[in-house]
Amino acid sequence: MLRGINHIVLKVRDLKTADRFYREILGMQRVGERSGMWFYHAGGHPHDLALVEVGPDATQAQKYQTGLFHFCLTVENEQALAELYNRCRLANVPNLGTVDHTVMRSFYISDPDGHVVEIGMDVPREEWDEIANPFAKDRAYNIPDYSS
């Protein structure tokens, strides 16, 4: 029986560019490497993400191709979500929007290779447990300002 997702591996054009994004902006820790592949830890497993360098001529996936749509990294609470949102904004990371998914509140960004990354926080179950289908509808979400 399955018990969860362990890690994800992304193809990137340039490891150093992707490394700056995942380490310096998102705060992941690089925990290992081998030829053409670097491994990162976000708190869950020995590694949560691996990046494989495929070269500068690699093309970005197109909108109507099959493949990965996005992946989600989680933070502990709404304040951590707001802090990371602001860090991404200040670093001019492409922001693709904010959403209240009922079970999770999130924002979406694009990494240097065009991979869509959702950054989210779980909503406490008691806030949505009585809703018949909590996945039926998304709502607009404004990330609170914790900067003051």
Per residue in 14-41, pLDDT (tens digit) is 999 999 999 999 999 999 999 999 999 9
* First CA to last CA distance, the chain: 47
Enumerate the CATH 3.30.720.110 domain ranges in the chain, comma separated: 68-138
CATH number of 1-55: 3.10.180.10
When the pLDDT of each residue in the chain is averaged and rounded to a whole number, the result is: 92
pTM beyond 0.75: the answer is: yes
CA gap 41, 27 in Å, rounded: 9
Residue with more model confidence, 85 or 46 = 85
Residue 59, CA distances (Å) to 12, 18, 21 in order: 10, 15, 19
pLDDT at 131: 87
Q: Options 3.40.50.970, 3.30.720.110, 3.40.30.10, 3.30.70.20; which CATH number does 68-138 get?
A: 3.30.720.110
**Is residue 100's pLDDT more than 90?**
yes
Enumerate the CATH 3.10.180.10 domain ranges in the chain, comma separated: 1-55
Per residue in 120-131, pLDDT (tens digit) is 999 999 989 888
Res. 70 pLDDT band, cuts 50 70 90:
very high
**Helix residue ranges, H only, the chain:** 15-19, 78-90
